[in-house]
Amino acid sequence: GAVVSQHPSRVICKSGTSVKIECRSLDFQATTMFWYRQFPKQSLMLMATSNEGSKATYEQGVEKDKFLINHASLTLSTLTVTSAHPEDSSFYICSAGPGPWNTEAFFGQGTRLTVV
């Protein structure tokens, strides 16, 4: 199957700093990628849809100025958590697929963000 690589897998940062998470499709091109967030013992919630060459679409309640998404190429989307706070600590995971007619999604390994 297709491979999605996410980096870093784990990051600890200080409050007020910014953190960038990368999501790469290694063997296919992805015009669309999705970013999810998972709080402890909860399910995955969609944060935003990342569209290559255009603005991301954010879900209700997700601050677009805090969670900056850039999808500058067909194989790379980045999520930057700006001015991080402890409540942003979570597991962030991206997904993509060869689509649009292939409905299987492939997930990155996830990024465990801890803000201290």
Partner 1 sequence: AQSVTQLDSHVSVSEGTPVLLRCNYSSSYSPSLFWYVQHPNKGLQLLLKYTSAATLVKGINGFEAEFKKSETSFHLTKPSAHMSDAAEYFCVVRNANSGNTPLVFGKGTRLSVIA
List of residues contacting partner 1 (CB under 8 A): 1, 31-32, 34, 36, 42-46, 49, 93, 95, 97-105, 107-110, 112
Closer residue to partner 1 (CB): 83 or 99: 99
User: Looking up tokens 């709080």, which residue turns up?
Assistant: 39
Closer residue to partner 1 (CB): 17 or 41: 41
* d(C-alpha 56, C-alpha 62), whole Å: 12
Closer residue to partner 1 (CB): 48 or 84: 48
- Least separation in angstroms between CB 83 and partner 1: 26
- Residue 33: other Cβ atoms inside 10 A: 29
Cβ atoms of 111 and 40 within 8 Å: the answer is: no
- Least separation in angstroms between CB 32 and partner 1: 5
- Least separation in angstroms between CB 101 and partner 1: 6
Q: Given CA atoms 6, 7, 13, 16 in this order, what sign does their dihedral have?
A: negative
Closer residue to partner 1 (CB): 1 or 61: 1
- Least separation in angstroms between CB 82 and partner 1: 23
2, amino acid identity: A
Strand, coil or helix: what is 86?
A: helix
